[in-house]
Amino acid sequence: MTVPDFAACIKEKAIEIGFDTVGITSPLTLKHTAANLSDYIGAGHHGTMTWMEERQIERATPNGLWPDAKSVIMLGLNYGPSTDPRLLLGVPECGNISVYARGKDYHDLVKKRLKQLARWLVAEMPCELKVFVDTAPVMEKPLAAAAGLGWQGKHTNMVSKEYGSWLFLGAIYTTLDLPADTAHSYQCGSCTACLDACPTKAFVAPHKIDARRCISYLTIELKDAVPLEFRKALGNRIYGCDDCLAACPWNKFASVSKEAQLHARSELQSPLLSDLVQLDDQHFRTLFSGSPIKRIGRNRFVRNVLYAIGNSEDGDYLPLITPLLTDESDVVRDAAFWAKSELG
Q: What is the DSSP string of 196-242?
A: HH-TT--EEETTEE-GGG-HHIIIII--SPPPHHHHHHHTTEEE---
Catalytic residue among 39, 108, 134, 314: 134
Selection from 253, 279, 256 nearest residue 267 by Cα: 279
Selection from 175, 168, 167 nearest residue 130 by Cα: 175
Selection from 70, 40, 88 nearest residue 269 by Cα: 88
Residues 90 and 93: their CA atoms lie apart, in Å, by 9
Selection from 251, 110, 101 nearest residue 172 by Cα: 110
Active site residue 210: no
- Contacts with 343 (C-beta within 8 Å, 6 or more apart), sequence order: 309, 310, 312, 313, 314, 315, 317, 318, 321
Instruction: Provide the angle, in degrees to the nearest 10, between the axes of the packed helices 106-124 and 3-17.
Output: 150
Residues 323 and 193: their CA atoms lie apart, in Å, by 42
- Whole-Å CA distances, 274 to 93, 95, 227, 314: 8, 10, 24, 11
- Whole-Å CA distances, 201 to 190, 213, 214, 231: 18, 7, 8, 13
- Positions annotated as catalytic residues are 134
